[in-house]
Amino acid sequence: MSILYILIPIAILLVTLAVVVFFWAVKSGQFEDLERHGTSILFDEDKPEADKDNNQNER
């Protein structure tokens, strides 16, 4: 049982880390538009045509 004396403090550290990450996420606006980013993975990166436009526009 004495392993708990090590594991639980580690768990607390991890939880603190989770809270910090969560606060950062809220502060940087990650939760502002939940509708949109759920689907953004579906979209491909720029298609060849769009790339061409980019080059023309020197971006």
Partner 1 sequence: MHCYHCHQDVIEPNRYIAEVLGEKRQMCCPGCQAVAQAIVANGLDDYYKFRTEPANKADDSALEQTLNKLRLYDQPELQEEFVTTDDKLSVIQLSIEGISCAACAWLIEKKLSVLAGVAQVGVNASARRALVRWDPARINLSDILAAIEKIGYHALPFQPQQHEEQFKRTSQSFLKRMGLAGIMTMQVMMIAFALYFGLFGNLDDDIRQFLHWVSLLLTLPVVLISGAGFYRGAIRALKAATVNMDVPISIAIWALFIASAKATVLEQGEVFFESVCMFIFLLLISRYLEHRSRHQAALISANMSQYVPVTARLLSEGKTTDCLAKILKAGQVVLVRSGETIPVDGVVTQGKSYVDESMLTGEFSPVVKQAGDKVYGGTINQHSSLTLEVSRPLKEALVNQILRLQDQALLSKPAISQLADKVARYFVMAVLLIAALTWGFWTWVGNPDAFWITAAVLVATCPCALGLATPSALTCAMASLNRHGLLLKRADLLETITNIKVLAFDKTGTLTQGRFSLSAVHNLSAHPQQHILSVVCAIEQHSEHPIARAFDAPTTEQVSDVEVRPGYGLCATVNGTGYRLGSARLIRNKVPEDLQGCNVFLENGNQLLAAFTVTDSLREDATETLNRLSSYERVIISGDAEENVRRIANELTIDEYYAQCSPEQKLQKLQALQKQGKSVMMIGDGINDTPVMAAADVSVAVGGATDLAKNAADIILVTPSLALLPELFAMARLTRRKIIQNMCWALGYNMAVLPLAVAGYLTPWMGVIGMSLSSILVVANSVRLLNKGPRS
Distances (CA, A) of 7 to 13, 14, 25: 10, 11, 27
# binding residues, partner 1 (CB under 8 A):
36
Q: Is 19 in the site for partner 1 (CB under 8 A)?
A: yes
Residue 37: which of 52, 22, 23, 25 has the closest Cα?
25
Q: Is 59 in the site for partner 1 (CB under 8 A)?
A: yes
Judged by CB under 8 A, which of 6, 10, 13, 33 binds partner 1? 33
Judged by CB under 8 A, which of 6, 10, 13, 50 binds partner 1? 50
